């Protein structure tokens, strides 16, 4: 039997069927993360990237600490994977996205982040996942095509920079790896317990960067409120919900949230900002919907 405590242990999820609970968890994360890049952009108006990263992690961890009352003892053999999650799934992306949006517009960052589902699928295969079916890969590719169609009008002519692209892709890989290793520890200890500890470690790691960033930052309520929303909802609550979804559905199927985030952003733009959508963008939405449906189909039994 495989060692239950190896750092790169993965899980196919506890629920082969993607049912109403899984769709509900997916909707929560999609709606919450659909506005994340906007909050980062507003935060950058006054705060340096290092401070944004530290604040969102600290506020996220603080929010989780307030809602949990039960002490969960973590086996010392599981601290390795929790530390990995802290670095590549929390501290790293928090800083990478803030730095990236200095040279990239949020629309470009959003489209690049849509590579998370495919990256998650690739990492799952490399780590030995055998429960996926060809239809899942088809769904992932369709979702990516739909995101490109939906985003292309906003991306053409947008501000771009090589360093920003590199930072974003590093964050994408971090999310993909995290999604594949977080499931087993969440199954053992619960989503909030794991994410809280990972974010506390990330806060400690980012404290020097946050301290140094103070000299390059000024205070404004607009930026602070934006980062507070980003931290409490996007970094604390939504990360926990996503971790619970990964434990239930497995990393590749849970990662389709990466395709639904731009859909939510587009819908919010139409509903609240009087934006319009072209026929091509509506087509992109339809393709994403089909891709998400195929990408969340039932997996093969782990031990047929």
CA-angle at 27, arms to 259 and 160, nearest 5°: 35
Q: Which of the two residues, 232 and 259, has the higher pLDDT score?
A: 232
What is the pLDDT at residue 1? 39
Q: Which of the two residues, 298 and 82, has the higher pLDDT score?
A: 82
Q: Which of the two residues, 22 and 158, has the higher pLDDT score?
A: 22
Q: Half-sphere exposure of residue 59, counting CA atoms within 13 Å on the CB side? A: 20
What is the pLDDT at residue 298? 67
Q: Which of the two residues, 267 and 215, has the higher pLDDT score?
A: 215
Residue 95: pLDDT above 70?
A: yes
Lowest-pLDDT range, 26-35, 111-120, 139-148?
139-148
What is the pLDDT at residue 131? 63
> Max alpha carbon distance in the chain (Å)?
59
pLDDT per residue over 270-304, tens digit each? 676 566 667 777 787 788 778 777 766 665 554 44
Q: Which residue has the tokens 């319009």?
A: 276
What is the pLDDT at residue 242? 93
What is the pLDDT at residue 125? 80
Distance, CA of 211 to CA of 205 (rounded, Å): 11
pTM of the shown model: 0.83
What is the pLDDT at residue 122? 83
Residue 176: pLDDT above 50?
A: yes
Residue 43: pLDDT above 90?
A: yes
pLDDT per residue over 227-251, tens digit each? 999 999 999 999 999 999 999 988 8
What average pLDDT does the segment 201-217 reach? 95
Structure confidence at residue 7 as a pLDDT band (50, 70, 90): low
Average pLDDT value for the chain: 84
Domain ranges of the chain: 20-295
What average pLDDT does the segment 28-41 reach? 86
What is the pLDDT at residue 216? 94
- Tell me which DSSP letter residue 48 carries: -
Distance, CA of 87 to CA of 94 (rounded, Å): 10
As to burial, measured by CB atoms within 10 angstroms (0-12 exposed, 13-18 middle, 19+ buried), residue 51 is buried
Percent of the chain surpassing pLDDT 90: 42
């Amino acid at each position: 039997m495989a060692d239950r405590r190896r750092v790169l242990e993965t899980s196919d999820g506890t629920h082969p069927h993607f049912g109403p609970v899984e769709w509900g968890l997916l909707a929560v994360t999609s709606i919450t993360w659909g506005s994340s890049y906007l909050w980062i952009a507003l935060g950058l108006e006054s705060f340096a990237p290092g401070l944004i990263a530290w604040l969102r992690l600290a506020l996220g961890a603080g929010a989780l600490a307030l809602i949990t009352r039960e002490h969960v003892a973590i086996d010392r053999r599981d601290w390795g994977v929790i530390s990995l999650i802290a670095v590549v799934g929390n501290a790293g992306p928090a800083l990478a996205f803030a730095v990236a949006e200095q040279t990239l517009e949020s629309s470009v960052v959003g489209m690049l982040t849509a590579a998370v589902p495919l990256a998650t699928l690739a990492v799952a295969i490399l780590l030995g996942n055998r429960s996926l079916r060809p239809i899942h890969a088809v769904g992932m590719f369709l979702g990516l095509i739909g995101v490109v169609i939906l985003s292309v009008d906003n991306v053409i002519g947008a501000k771009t920079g090589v360093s920003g692209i590199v930072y974003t892709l590093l964050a994408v890989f971090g999310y993909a790896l995290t999604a594949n290793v977080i499931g087993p520890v969440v199954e053992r200890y619960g989503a909030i317990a794991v994410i809280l500890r990972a974010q506390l470690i990330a806060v400690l790691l980012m404290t020097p960067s946050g301290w140094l960033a103070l000299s390059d930052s000024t205070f404004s309520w607009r930026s602070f409120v934006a980062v507070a929303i980003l931290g409490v909802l996007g970094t604390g609550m939504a990360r926990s919900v996503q971790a619970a979804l990964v434990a239930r559905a497995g990393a590749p199927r849970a990662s389709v949230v990466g395709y639904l985030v731009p859909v939510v952003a587009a819908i919010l733009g139409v509903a609240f900002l009087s934006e319009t959508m072209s026929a091509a963008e509506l087509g992109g939405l339809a393709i994403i919907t089909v891709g998400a449906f195929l990408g969340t189909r039932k997996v093969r039994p782990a031990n047929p």
